[in-house]
Amino acid sequence: MKIVLVSLLLTLLGSSLIAQTKTTVKRPAVKSSSNSTSLRASLTRGKTVYAANCLACHQADGSGVPNLNPPLIQTSWVLGSKVVLVNQVLNGSKGKVEIDGDRFENAMPPQAHLSDQQIADVLTYVRNSFGNKAAVVTAMEVKSARAKRK
């Protein structure tokens, strides 16, 4: 019985190590030095876009406002589909949004005035800040979502 448990533990440990390694490899930051530089630049630009357009409601730490403005920390929207996320930024919402079981009442104005690059940067920043870790969003992806929206 003990042996089974130990081997089970080892297997779990092993697979989690592999998973961790995989995640590490996936991280754009360590892909190559040029990608790393461009990610850093995107994050820096994204932070500026965030401060000017998002921070007042979603807050400096991404925690949002209970019942009013959604948090951006480890939510299914932030970590999930990039297309859904880009469309949220482009279209905004009329409020009464339900996210992971909580309801948020305030409307979000559309942010379509931001450029493809600005939206890519700010979403890359959000998806890699506040404890989040998710794939970068590119200007091409924003451009494509914007085109489909029209």
Partner 1 sequence: MKNIIIIIAVILLGLTSNTFAQPGKTKADFTLPAGFKYSVIGKSLNRARHIVVNSNGDVYVKLARPRGGKGIIRLQDKNKDGIVDDTTGFGDYGGTGITIKNGYLYASSNTTVYRYKINNNEPDTAHPQIIVSGLIDAGTHNTKSLVLDNAGNIYVTIGAPSNICQAEDRKTGAPGQDPCPLLEKTGGIWQFKADKENQTYSDGVRYATGIRNTVGLDWNTSTNTLFAMQHGRDGLQDYHFFPDSVSVELPAEEMLEVKKPGDNFGWPYCFYNQLAGKKMVNPEYGGDGKATGRCEGVAAPAAAYPGHMAPNGLLFYTGNQFPAKYKNGAFIAFHGSWNRAPLTQKGFFVAFQPFRDGKPSGAYEVFASGFAGKDNITAPGQAMYRPCGLAQGPDGSLYVTDDAKGNVWRINFTGNKKG
Residue 96 CA to residue 116 CA, distance in Å, equals 27
Site for partner 1 in 72-101 (CB under 8 A): 94-96
CA distances from 101 to 43, 67, 97 (A): 29, 11, 10
Q: Is 149 in the site for partner 1 (CB under 8 A)?
A: no
Given a contact cutoff of 8 angstroms between Cβ atoms, the answer to whether 86 and 141 are in contact is: yes
Is 112 a binding residue for partner 1 by CB under 8 A? The answer is no
Q: Which residues of 73-104 are buried (b: 16+ CB within 10 A; e: fewer)?
A: bebeebbeebeebbbbbbeeeeeebeeeeeeb
Q: Which residue in 43, 49, 64, 114 binds partner 1 (CB under 8 A)?
A: 64
Residue 97 phi/psi, 5-degree rounding, is -90, 135
Euclidean distance between CA atoms 54 and 76, whole angstroms: 18
Residue 43 is a binding residue for partner 1 (CB under 8 A): no
| CB of 50 vs partner 1, minimal distance in Å | 11
Q: Stretches 6-14, 56-64, 77-85, 140-148: which one binds partner 1 (CB under 8 A)?
A: 56-64
Q: Which is nearer to partner 1, 65 or 134 (CB)?
A: 65
Query: Residue 8 or residue 107: which is nearer to partner 1 going by CB?
Result: 107
- 70 is an interface residue for partner 1 by CB under 8 A: no
Binding site for partner 1 (CB under 8 A): 51, 55-57, 59-61, 63-69, 71, 94-96, 105-110
